[in-house]
Structure 1
Amino acid sequence: MPSSTRQQSKLVDESVPADLNIPDNYVQHTLKTIKPLPPVTWSNWTTELDYLNVAILTLTPVVGLVGAYFTELRWETCLFAIFYYYVTGLGITAGYHRLWAHRAYNASLPLQYFLAIVGAGAVEGSIKWWSRGHRAHHRYTDTDLDPYNAHRGFFYSHVGWMMIKPRRKPGVADVSDLAKNPVIRWQHKHYIALIFLMGFILPTVVPWLLWGDAQGGYIYAGVLRLCFVHHSTFCVNSLAHWLGETPFDDKHTPRDHLITALATIGEGYHNFHHQFPMDYRNAIKWYQYDPTKWFIWACQKLGLASHLKVFPDNEVRKGQLTMELKKLRETQEKLSWPNDSNDLPVISWESFQEQALKRPLILISGFIHDVGTFVDEHPGGPHLLIKFIGKDATTAFFGGVYDHSNAAHNLLAMKRVGVLHGGAPHGLEDKMIPPSQRLKIARYTELTSPYNSSTAYSDGEGMLG
């Protein structure tokens, strides 16, 4: 078959979504039926290393540090190295990541070529390879089909997954849309030449031509800059799954933190990103550090980018509210609450008065309260409680004598020892629920309030515990 025909046939195959015919239980089926390679041990580690990646990840910083020892750092080269770090880093964050892996916006052809070229200068693989792995990471986050599964440890998700041969193939992820893109095909075809040109030749030539510092350009803007770009990107896989908070969802490991954002050119608000991956933003507040978002926004203003995707704010706020309620629920479960009305004995009025002769019982809003431990502590004086022993003090408690505070109502509810047969008179239902429980966080199985349920009356003579 002629080479042109083979290439055309390959292109047709790549245009078919890779996940078109996978089974519904793909993840479980794959993990069960496809066995991973044996674990890496002290006896087999020498045969399980990916020596090309090991060389890149270890020799690059060694060459950079040794070279820096023998090379003076000029201020012009320093500024250029920082500038070029951001340029090649944006090739990854704005290009590889948000444009191609997540399709968070549309880019004009000039912008696509620019991002593809400078992205190659980060030496992290072609767009097609990088995006395929990243889409698998999002689809199978924290599972064994995630190529950089955070549950396997910080070192593994940072660099370990590249330094050893994968124990299993990453989960299937569709890149048929990328296979059709001529810019991506062009970059993939010329990738090796581009990494040498953009990774080392350009950062060496520019300082040489402009201020005569070829050696400094190669060491600082080339080699050491590359180390910083590498570990900046790697932190998205490791640090962003380890440091910070989960303000939108805590189902998986991604987290939000300013330090990670500073280390990754704005990719540190990772909890938001994993919840809303198609959003062109990583940070949603104006003051949060996200230069990648600002770059994409600026490109839109210049007519180089369009259709910037933003997840509906209403849905974003739902995620935030869910996590806030979850934290409140955790606090709520650490507190002591009044006994459920269904757990209290139901007694008659006569029995209530009879038992009040032996202990200080007061009726308020249909509940019987034992105020024995509070009589001497009552701010209004013990006489006000004593006069209502064996009586209904509802009117006096709710403003007749003193309109008690929410705190007093909450404390009173903790002293409930029984329910009066017949309950509270009609119209006092709202006074039966202490303020602390009116906004109590309930799971969907708890939405029926015990205070609204009817209590079966047995013999009417139950004893108060």
Structure 2
Amino acid sequence: MELSKNMPTETQLLKNKISEILYWPKRIDWINVIFLIALPVWAAYQALYTPLRLNTFLLSVFFYSFTGISVTAGYHRLWSHTSYSASWPLRLTFALGGAAAFQHSIRWWATKHRAHHRFTDTSKDPYAAHLGFWHAHMGWLVFKQDQKIIGRVNVYDLDQDRIVMWQHKYLLPLQLLLGYMLPISIAHYCWNDIRGGLIYASVLRIFLAHQATFFVNSLAHYIGDKPFDDRHTPCDSLITALFTFGEGYHNFHHTFPNDFRNAIEWWQYDPCKWLISGWKSAGLAWDLKSFQYGEIEKRRVQQARKMLDKRAGVLDWGVPIETLPVIEWSEFLRLAKDEGRSLVVIAGVVHDVEEFLDEHPGGKFFVKSAIGKDATATFNGGVYSHSLTATNLLATMRVAVIRGGGEVESFK
């Protein structure tokens, strides 16, 4: 058999394999690898030999909370979804806190997030969960993405925001100054702990803040319930909310993305919702967007009905009446009396109760007394008003339909 001229030779296949191996390191974003993985690993090792002082611990908690809220309430709810409006001092605070969180600029972050919402669980989603937990969590940052594939979104409003563009322009110096130099300087000059300031208040604090944000892209798409929409991966989970400043009710958020709340029940954990409401009371925020209760309940009921329909679809509800064969009353009598089949008519439908004779709670006698008869009145209350459970069970015994509906109609 003659080989095709277009078929690659063993030498060509080997060259292609070598090219793939050599190209693989080029796919890695080495800067992100250093900041997201290498530097935290180094800091974790150094922490073994660096005592954590109380002041440094409190400083770390403060910066962690400040930067986390800046990303959640600022980057996410304010700029990505415009779920409320804020005064310039509050917006500037978020811009500085976001820079200290080392999560890129507001413009970059919001652009990716808007694409995530517009193209959820598709190839155009920058951190699509359907590509795997690791990809959604950090993989999309560790490996370079083809920007031609990622979906395009409109960020004109961000380009017109002077604070957004100022932060975007001076991001690197702001990150170094606020993310590293400021906490290190405070720890050094206030209680002489420059090493702790670097290890705990800077590197490890940034690492933990990163993981909290990444959980919204990964964990929030893998664990929890879907009370509003199950067509995509986002889930509602208290566990995720505890790690992400209240961003764990992700199914609600993807269903109602421009609602300033992530949790709508009073008992659900969403500190940023409470903070935004407080800022409104203080005059720092306004125009808080929220969906009407009725609209939210519509989606909840629709989803609940959908889930019930799925559960109902796997149950035996009996042969649909419209597909049953139609027989005459005389035929029913012949089958029941002449052939000895255990057939009973109820509401015009013929039921074969043979296998249920020994199972009837009232005993075999009561069922046998109805064989070959129209027992509609008896079943519906003549002797005992049967429950819906009995009605459902009876439906699984359908075998035919009486033409005209029953014994009386057949003699008209």
Structure 1: how far apart are the matches of 2:407 and 2:93?
76
Q: Which moved more, 1:397-406 or 1:272-281?
A: 397-406
Q: Which amino acid aligns with 2:119?
A: Y
Q: Which amino acid aligns with 2:325?
A: P
Kept after mapping to 2: 8 A contact 1:281/1:293: yes
Which residue is 1:144 aligned to? Answer: 123
Structure 2: how far apart are the matches of 1:385 and 1:148?
63
Structure 2: how far apart are the matches of 1:424 and 1:354?
15
Structure 2: how far apart are the matches of 1:89 and 1:363?
69
Which residue is 2:156 aligned to? Answer: 176
SS state of the match for residue 21, structure 2? coil
The C-alpha deviation readout for 1:269-323, integer Å capped at 9, x for no partner, is 1111111110111111222222222221221122111111112222222222222
SS state of the match for residue 290, structure 2? coil
Kept after mapping to 1: 8 A contact 2:115/2:125: yes
Kept after mapping to 2: 8 A contact 1:363/1:394: yes
CA 1:410–1:208: 2 relative to 1, 3 Å: same
Kept after mapping to 1: 8 A contact 2:67/2:98: yes
Q: Which moved more, 1:399-408 or 1:83-92?
A: 399-408
SS state of the match for residue 115, structure 1? helix
SS state of the match for residue 362, structure 1? strand
| Superposition deviation, residue 117 in structure 1 | 0.7
Structure 2: how far apart are the matches of 1:138 and 1:294?
24
Which residue is 1:394 aligned to? Answer: 376
Q: Are 1:196 and 2:143 an aligned pair?
A: no
Q: Are 1:350 and 2:330 an aligned pair?
A: yes
CA 1:193–1:341: 2 relative to 1, 3 Å: same
Which residue is 1:328 aligned to? Answer: 308
| Superposition deviation, residue 94 in structure 1 | 0.6
The C-alpha deviation readout for 1:205-229, integer Å capped at 9, x for no partner, is 2233433323222221111101111
Output aligned runs, 1:253-402, within 5 Å: 253-357=233-337, 358-402=340-384
Q: Which amino acid aligns with 1:48?
A: R
TM-score by length of 2: 0.89
Q: Which amino acid aligns with 2:93?
A: F
Which residue is 2:84 aligned to? Answer: 105
The C-alpha deviation readout for 1:37-68, integer Å capped at 9, x for no partner, is xxx95331122222222221123203322332
Which residue is 2:102 aligned to? Answer: 123
Q: How many residues align structurally? A: 388
Q: Which amino acid aligns with 1:284?
A: I
Kept after mapping to 2: 8 A contact 1:63/1:223: no
Q: Are 1:63 and 2:63 an aligned pair?
A: no
CA 1:403–1:135: 2 relative to 1, 3 Å: same
Kept after mapping to 1: 8 A contact 2:329/2:407: no
CA 1:68–1:388: 2 relative to 1, 3 Å: closer
Q: Which moved more, 1:133-142 or 1:200-209?
A: 200-209
| Superposition deviation, residue 424 in structure 1 | 5.2
The C-alpha deviation readout for 1:113-169, integer Å capped at 9, x for no partner, is 111111110111111111111111111112222111222222222222122221343
Q: Are 1:133 and 2:112 an aligned pair?
A: yes
Q: Which moved more, 1:81-90 or 1:238-247?
A: 238-247
Structure 2: how far apart are the matches of 1:145 and 1:79?
41
Structure 2: how far apart are the matches of 1:387 and 1:188?
86
Which residue is 1:210 aligned to? Answer: 190
Q: Which amino acid aligns with 2:376?
A: T
| Superposition deviation, residue 245 in structure 1 | 2.2
Which residue is 1:159 aligned to? Answer: 138
Q: Which amino acid aligns with 2:271?
A: P
SS state of the match for residue 336, structure 1? coil
Which residue is 2:5 aligned to? Answer: none
Which residue is 1:445 aligned to? Answer: none
Which residue is 2:7 aligned to? Answer: none
Structure 1: how far apart are the matches of 2:222 and 2:262?
17
Q: Are 1:76 and 2:55 an aligned pair?
A: yes
Output aligned runs, 1:14-93, within 5 Å: 41-93=20-72
CA 1:94–1:417: 2 relative to 1, 3 Å: same
Which residue is 1:404 aligned to? Answer: 386
RMSD: 2.1
Kept after mapping to 2: 8 A contact 1:142/1:252: yes
| Superposition deviation, residue 183 in structure 1 | 1.1
Kept after mapping to 1: 8 A contact 2:329/2:406: no
CA 1:389–1:162: 2 relative to 1, 3 Å: closer
Q: Which amino acid aligns with 1:60?
A: L
Structure 2: how far apart are the matches of 1:250 and 1:377?
40
Structure 2: how far apart are the matches of 1:409 and 1:136?
51
Gaps of 5+ in 2: 1-18
CA 1:224–1:404: 2 relative to 1, 3 Å: same
TM-score by length of 1: 0.79
Kept after mapping to 2: 8 A contact 1:145/1:168: no
Kept after mapping to 2: 8 A contact 1:397/1:403: yes
Output aligned runs, 1:425-436, within 5 Å: none
Kept after mapping to 2: 8 A contact 1:120/1:199: yes
Q: Which moved more, 1:340-349 or 1:97-106?
A: 340-349
Kept after mapping to 2: 8 A contact 1:120/1:195: yes
Which residue is 1:229 aligned to? Answer: 209
Q: Which moved more, 1:279-288 or 1:366-375?
A: 366-375
The C-alpha deviation readout for 1:151-199, integer Å capped at 9, x for no partner, is 2222222222122221343211111101111111221222122111210
CA 1:411–1:155: 2 relative to 1, 3 Å: closer
Structure 2: how far apart are the matches of 1:168 and 1:190?
23
| Superposition deviation, residue 425 in structure 1 | 9.3
Kept after mapping to 2: 8 A contact 1:256/1:268: yes
SS state of the match for residue 373, structure 1? helix
Kept after mapping to 2: 8 A contact 1:208/1:214: yes
Kept after mapping to 1: 8 A contact 2:374/2:407: no
